[in-house]
Structure 1
Amino acid sequence: MDKRRIRQLGRITTFAKTTTLRYLILALFFVTFFTACNPNDKKENKKQIVKKEPIIKEYGFTFNDYKVVQDTIRSGDTFSALLEKFPLKDSLKIHEVTEKVKDSFNVKRIKAGKPYILFLDKKKPNTLQALVYIEDRINYTVVDFRDSLVVSNKQKPTIVKRRVVAAEINGSLSETLSNAGVSPALAPKLANIYAYTIDFFKIQKGDKFAVTINERYIDDTIYVGVESIEASYFEHKGKKIFAFPYKLNEKQKKEDYYDENGKGLKSMFLKAPLDYFRISSRFSGRRFHPVQMRFKAHNGTDYAAPHGTPIKTTASGVVERTGYTAGNGNFVKVRHSSTYSTQYLHMSKILVRNGQSVSQGQTIGKVGSTGLATGPHVCYRFWKNGVQVDPLRLKLPNTEPMGKSDKQKYLKYIEPLKRELDSITAIKFKE
């Protein structure tokens, strides 16, 4: 076979291969196209994709049965304004609703930032069926229009779980609590308990603590926070301090904290009658009076603060006298024991009455400049055994000691709590 013939056969073979490949590609395209466009396959795919709508039940309603609007109260919103957004059933008037619910729901106390839910009828044109105002994670109010107007103040079901937590400080107290699986909100509560015995700005790595707490949960799973503290222990700079909350009598509103021997942890007196202040004039035997323009003794400590600042009694006691004099202005005097009394002068407003029992830290008046005063302040006076003294130079006592019978009851009450803390700390902190 000559060379020319061979070249012709080669061209034919190449053409045949190319043509066959083209037909194969074209056939594959048509198969893929018609398979993808098969309407039965589309229906099949749709059936596989469709998912059932989850059923949502909360606040006593099945959300799927209504058109639901969820929002938050804005500044300036009122209860009436919320009702105006959608028509009410049976031609109810808004003022009628407000009048009927006022005994169960204080509509004036709704707050900006609080969430609310509107449940609307799906069939009728957005008719309002119910309104839920959410006060917090547990408490809520339902205004129900479905049958007859009914108002219910409700709570989500909760349970309280008790546990003992022990940890060694590593970082801040809040960080240590968080690492131990406890709400960091417990930190300020512990700081308040030990406010008179531990400087929490100076706690250091290696300090230890253990605390018995009750924690609240919604539906057994959603953590709400620490409900109460049953007992606690703190070791700071090698010093071990226990704290147990206890009421000496039923009339006492809040517990005081005592150590394992029944000694009160907090000082009998606060350091000052104001939260925020500056000392404008100290206790002195000879001070130039800015109003009388002469030197005289100043038997008190002046704390300057803005007009209207709350004034707190520095210790629990009984209001011995309230009134007004030209020099003192509006004043309150409190007797704390047979040994100690305090007085608060120049008030703009007195908030207690003679003979009233007051607790430490209770607001008894407001800062003012009544009487002989050049500006708003409170003059704080302190008596010990009937003599005015400087409280800033006085070593003040802790809470009044327990009586013998009270101490016996207290020691019996804390015995199992302390034993539990001792056990957990021995295991956790064994060397």
Structure 2
Amino acid sequence: MRKNQIWLIIVGLTITIISAIYLKAPLAEQEGFLAEIEVDSTFFQLPTLYYGYPIDSFDIVEGKVRWNQNLSEILSAFNISFQDIHTLAQNAREVYDVRKLKAGASYAIIHNRDSLRTARQFIFEPSPTEYVVYNLVDTIYAERQQKPVEVKERTLAAEINSSLYNSLMDLGASPILVHRMVDVFAWQVDFFRIAKGDKFKLVFEEETVDGEVVGIRNIKGAYFEHWGKSYYAIPFETEEKLDFFDEEGNSLRKTLLKAPLDYTRISSRFSLKRFHPVQKRYKAHLGTDYAAPTGTPIRTVGDGVVLEARYHGGNGNYVKIKHNSNYTTQYLHMSKIERGIRPGTTVKQGQTIGYVGSTGLANGPHLCYRFWKNGRQVDALKVDIPSSGGIDSTQIANFKVVSDSIRNVLDQINFETQEKLLAKIPTQSEDSPTQ
């Protein structure tokens, strides 16, 4: 065998051995020769990451913020000086103010593995979808990070035995989903008069983080059967705004009038602290005052049912109307209530329900107009009133294609084969929607 051939064999074997060491794998059998290389398995081991930080050489303490607990109290046990905590609070203010740590929120501390247990990072979760890292090593700073959100399409269907709220809770859904459903069908379904046997179907997108449900992204289609009548909700984007329509392209939402009368001026706006002109003290004014001459007709801003029509204390003569499951309005200080307006009466948008006056606690003729949305009094001037328009004729063909597709999906959902959801979205309130 020539010297150059021997040299080539030696070089080839050398390359093969080096490759095997690098790949932590045994040599392949070549020309009857089999060899196995022992390699330290820890040499190529990837570090364990926690919120993106390697922690193999450190320890972790996890906990939840207690009521009235501050950052100084948490970090004082981890060899962090008050001066460093003050510096951290100053440097992190624009990222997340450490003075606003929320009770019950999760946190973690990565600290040295020694007797001092000096903290290196303090990690706080202000919400299920994000976390803030406060770095305590070398440069003191804070950075806010988003957790990856996974979106899953889900379906739900059920026959209602008591209420929509209970039916969705029985399926493991969230109160947030209840409110979204109520908002979609607010004008078609009286959720305070749900009949046993009413049914619903729903296709929606669910957001999860670390396997836990954190939000509802989109309702992709819905069906509700109420008192024997069927309603479809088809989402469709018009003029860069997503809204819901029936299968023919008619809007599911009805609009409300911006104001309940032709007024001269607004004399007082919605305020949580206003000086009362009669009582001479500061108190909340949860309405909008329209100054107008006595006898000016007051009209209801939308279709609805009269809840109350009477005289009472500071309100004077007033009328209260429920428009749907979301909206209720009230009209105070009337000189008189229109004939025929009484509890249970159905009224139409623009119908006169009374006349401007100064009854009750009022120092002049005006209408105090109050507005409830989802059971809370809100500023009527800041409510985003939905449009009641239908699909434009130029878009109706595209809408029909979308509508047929969504209806086909909804029609194939079986009421009897629905699985329960595994998790509910954490919320501050578990109450069902009330008016």
Report the equivalent of 2:217: 227
CA distance in 1 between counterparts of 2:411 and 2:126 reads 40
Look up the SS of the partner of 2:395 in the other structure. Answer: helix
2:405 paired with 1:422: no
- The equivalent residue for 1:117 is 108
Is residue 88–residue 129 contact of structure 1 (8 Å, CA) maintained in 2?
A: no
Q: Note the residue ranges of structure 2 that are not aligned, 5 or more in a row.
A: 1-46, 261-268, 271-292, 301-308, 316-322, 324-348, 351-360, 372-384, 419-435
Q: Is the 8 A contact 1:80 1:98 kept in 2?
A: no
Cα contact 1:56–1:64 (8 A) shared by 2: no
TM-score with structure 1 length normalisation?
Answer: 0.52
SS in 2 for 1:240: strand
Structure with the bigger RCO (C-alpha within 8 Å, sep 6+) is: 2
What are the superposed Cα offsets for residues 342-361 of structure 1, whole Å, 9 maximum, x if unpaired?
xxxxxxxxxxxxxxxxxxxx
Deviations 1:293-348 (A, max 9, x none): xx932333799999xxxxxxx9xxxxxxxxxxxxxxxxxxxxxxxx99xxxxxxxx
Q: Give the drift of 1:231.
A: 0.6
When residues 300 and 63 of structure 1 are mapped into structure 2, their CA distance, relative to the original with a 3 A threshold, is: farther
Rounded to whole Å, the distance in 1 between the matches of 2:77 and 2:143 is 22
Asked if the contact 1:301/1:379 (under 8 Å) is kept, the reply is no
Letter in 2 for 1:267: K
Q: Could you report, residue by residue, the CA deviation over 1:233-264 in whole angstroms, capped at 9, with x for unpaired residues?
A: 001112110112333122x4xx3221111111
1:209 lines up with 2:200 in the alignment: yes
**Residue 70 in 1 paired to residue 63 in 2?**
yes
Q: Does 1:269 align with 2:256?
A: yes
**Counterparts of 1:32-431 in structure 2 under 5 Å?**
58-60=50-52, 62=55, 65-66=58-59, 68=61, 70-75=63-68, 77-79=69-71, 82-83=74-75, 86-88=78-80, 93-107=84-98, 109-123=100-114, 125-146=116-137, 148-219=139-210, 221-250=211-240, 252=241, 255-269=242-256, 296-300=294-298, 372=364, 377-378=368-369, 399-424=388-413
Q: How far, CA to CA, are the matches of 2:386 and 2:145 in structure 1?
A: 45
The alpha-carbon distance between structure 1 residues 124 and 211, as it changes in their structure 2 partners (threshold 3 A), is same
Offset of residue 189 of structure 1 = 1.6
C-alpha displacement at 1:165, in angstroms? 2.1
Secondary structure of the residue aligned to 1:176 is: helix
Any conservation in 1 of the 2:65–2:101 contact (CA below 8 Å)?
no
Aligned partner letter, 1:400: G
Which secondary structure does the structure 2 equivalent of 1:264 belong to?
coil
Cα distance in structure 1, aligned partners of 2:73 and 2:97: 15
**Two-structure CA RMSD over aligned residues (Å):** 4.5
Shift of 1:183: 3.4
Q: Given residue 255 of structure 2, which amino acid in structure 1 is its aligned partner?
A: M
Q: Structure 1 residues 379, 99: CA separation in 2 closer, same or farther (over 3 Å shift)?
A: closer
- Is contact 1:138–1:156 with CA below 8 Å preserved after alignment? yes
Asked whether the 8 Å contact 1:66–1:122 carries over to 2, the reply is: yes
The aligned amino acid for 1:196 is W
Structure-2 change in CA distance of 1:222 and 1:378 (3 Å):
closer
Q: Is the 8 A contact 1:174 1:187 kept in 2?
A: yes
Structure 1 CA distance for aligned equivalents of residues 96 and 370 of structure 2: 43
Please give the alpha-carbon distance, in whole angstroms, between the structure 1 residues aligned to 2:140 and 2:222.
49
- Higher radius of gyration, 1 or 2: 1
In structure 1, what residue type is equivalent to 2:220? E
Q: Which runs of 5+ in 1 are unaligned?
A: 1-54, 276-294, 307-313, 315-338, 341-368, 381-395
SS at match of 1:182: coil
Q: Compare 238-247 and 55-64 and name the one that shifted more.
A: 55-64
C-alpha separation in 2, matches of 1:64 and 1:271: 64
Structure with higher helix content: 1
Q: Conserved in 2, the CA contact under 8 Å of 1:73 and 1:115? A: no
* CA distance in structure 2 between the partners assigned to 1:114 and 1:428 by the alignment: 37
Question: What's the % identity of the aligned pairs?
Answer: 26
TM-score by length of structure 2 reads: 0.52
Number of equivalences: 276
- Structure 1 position 370, deviation (Å): 11
In structure 2, the CA distance between the partners of 1:127 and 1:270, relative to structure 1 (3 Å rule), is farther
